[in-house]
């Protein structure tokens, strides 16, 4: 997984920018549906920020 991300690093950055832009546009147009935080998908605070469900059990 990590090797794939490193291989496609520039593509990932472009996708991050596109996602961020979509969130801004959606907020300005009143569409508050948030997109998946692709830049740091496994950080817990991202799930809180986007009101998503944390997919892992807290041990």
pLDDT above 60: residue 46:
no
Full-model pTM: 0.26
For 20, the domain range is 2-49
For residue 59, being part of any structural domain is answered with: no
From CA 59, how far away is CA 55, in angstroms rounded?
13
What's the rounded mean pLDDT across residues 23-52? Answer: 56
For residue 28, being part of any structural domain is answered with: yes
For residue 39, being part of any structural domain is answered with: yes
For residue 26, being part of any structural domain is answered with: yes
pLDDT above 60: residue 15:
yes
- Listing DSSP states for 12-55 in one string gives HHHHHHHHHHHHHHHHHTT--PPPP--SSTT-HHHHHHTTPPP-
Q: How many domains does the chain have?
A: 1
Percent of the chain topping pLDDT 70: 0
What's the rounded mean pLDDT across residues 10-33? Answer: 62
């Amino acid at each position: 997984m990590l090797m794939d991300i490193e291989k496609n690093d520039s593509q990932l950055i472009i996708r991050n920018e596109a996602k961020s832009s979509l969130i801004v546009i959606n907020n300005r147009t009143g569409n508050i549906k948030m997109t998946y935080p692709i830049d740091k998908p496994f950080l817990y605070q991202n799930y809180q920020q986007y009101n998503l469900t944390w997919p892992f059990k807290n041990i």
